[in-house]
Amino acid sequence: MKTYQKMLMLVELIAQAGALSPKELQSRIDVPRSTLQALLKTLADRHWLIRGTDGYRLGPQLGGIGGAYLASVDVRTIALPHLRRLADRWNKTVHLGVMASDDNAVVYIDKVAKGPLPLHSEIGKTVPLHSTALGKLLVALSPLDVQHRIIQRLELTPITPNTITQRDDFLTVIRRVAETQIAWDAEENEMGITCIAAPIRDFQGRVIAAVSVSGVSESMLAQSAQMVEDLKNCSGAISWELGWMTPHNKLEEGHV
């Protein structure tokens, strides 16, 4: 392993753990102690790492680099290749949505249309929170104070015969979505169409958007197990590119 690879591995290990002592690092990377000390000194001298009472932490130089990256991030640009791959894989329509500025609806900010049945959705269009998978997901994973405010003023207007119109039923669904991190719309916003949604997180773990797959109910339900896994991989890959570093969403190149 080359020197720069060892340095990058040290930075990644510390980023994942928050802080690691030299002894802890020694147990996780296969290099001689003298080499480890030299690598840590170089990284600290360059302010990529700083040493505190609990071990080495990420330093201000990395903060500056990370800040420059985050300033250039656009969720639509990052998400689009992943949306296209997911849509192509399943021949289904994929949406990217965010909460509207008044926390009262979902706004479609991108769409990759596939499949035999056109959906009545457009980029820039708003759709209800209570009748869509995207909406339920964004409500369920909002900060609790925001979630309570949304639910208090939410009008559970029936859109189809399947739309949730009772507040207790909606709360039950929201709790389940918060646990599973997946939301469903079973012909609640458009008859004959089922939709599944998963969250997109930023570098702090905040849910800033969601991605969904929509299609004819019969085909969606017949393939739902694998589709959910691919959807989670897609949202995880987008989140990782936005800086959300968790072991399960570090996907190989070419993954959805």
CATH number for the 3-70 domain, one of 3.30.230.10, 3.40.50.1580, 1.10.10.10, 3.90.1150.10? 1.10.10.10
Alpha helix positions (H), the chain: 3-17, 22-28, 33-45, 60-71, 75-90, 133-140, 144-153, 167-180, 217-222, 224-241
Domains 3-70 and 73-249 fall in the same CATH topology: no
* Dist CA 11 CA 48 (whole Å): 8
pLDDT tens for each residue of the chain, 256 residues long? 678 788 888 888 888 888 899 889 988 888 888 998 999 999 988 888 998 888 998 888 776 666 565 555 688 999 999 999 999 999 999 999 999 888 889 999 999 988 776 677 888 889 999 999 999 999 999 999 999 999 999 999 999 999 999 999 999 999 999 999 999 999 999 999 999 999 999 888 899 999 999 999 998 999 899 999 999 999 999 999 888 876 444 433 333 3
pTM: 0.72
* Dist CA 36 CA 176 (whole Å): 46
CATH number for the 73-249 domain, one of 3.40.50.10490, 2.10.109.10, 3.40.605.10, 3.30.450.40? 3.30.450.40
How do the domains of the chain map onto residue ranges? 3-70, 73-249
* Closest among 110, 130, 92, 141 to 211, alpha carbons compared: 110
Residue 117 identity: L
The bridge status of strand 207-216 relative to strand 106-112 is unpaired
Beta bridge partners of 211: 96, 198
Beta bridge partners of 108: 97
Beta bridge partners of 97: 108, 210
Q: What pLDDT sits at residue 246? A: 63
Q: What pLDDT sits at residue 252? A: 34
The tokens of 217 are what? 């109910």
Residue 233 identity: N
The tokens of 40 are what? 């840590």
CA-to-CA separations, 236 to 71, 229, 251, 256, in angstroms, rounded: 20, 10, 8, 9
